[in-house]
Amino acid sequence: MNTMKSACYLTCLFAAFVFTGCGKEDKPATTTTTVQSAPATPPPAAPGGNSYLGAMVKAQQSAVKTVDLSSLNEEVQLFNAQEGHFPKDLNELVTKQYIGQLPPTPVGKKFVYDSVQGKVTLAPQ
């Protein structure tokens, strides 16, 4: 029984050392990283006095046009693969439920569809 008390005492003593450490205070390692970056400067104004915001809007419109044309052309190709021919016009994509509706065209533009090649492009109105 005496050995049992000794084992318990030693275990408690060991646990106390583990939890309290050896009295030495550990300092966290500090690293300093300095990142210098140049301030963001807008691109120069586009011809016609457009601002940076105007350039951003034009870029977004261009990206939307690209996405609309890509998705329309993909649907035309899917139509061709499943139906065996290109649609006679873009509205046939809607009537046969390949798309829910035709996407809006950008201001001043219209979709031009070539039913022989099955290709959709944009052209000025």
Q: Residues 25-30: what's their mean pLDDT?
A: 56
More reliable by pLDDT, 22 or 93: 93
Which burial class, exposed, middle or buried, applies to 105 when counting CB atoms under 10 A from its CB (0-12, 13-18, 19+)?
A: middle
Provide the pLDDT for residue 36. Answer: 58
Provide the pLDDT for residue 83. Answer: 96
Provide the pLDDT for residue 114. Answer: 96
Model pTM above 0.75? no
Residue 15: what are its φ and ψ, rounded to 5°? -65, -40
Q: Are 70 and 88 in contact (CB under 8 A)?
A: no
Q: Residues 100-125: what's their mean pLDDT?
A: 92
Q: Are 85 and 109 in contact (CB under 8 A)?
A: no
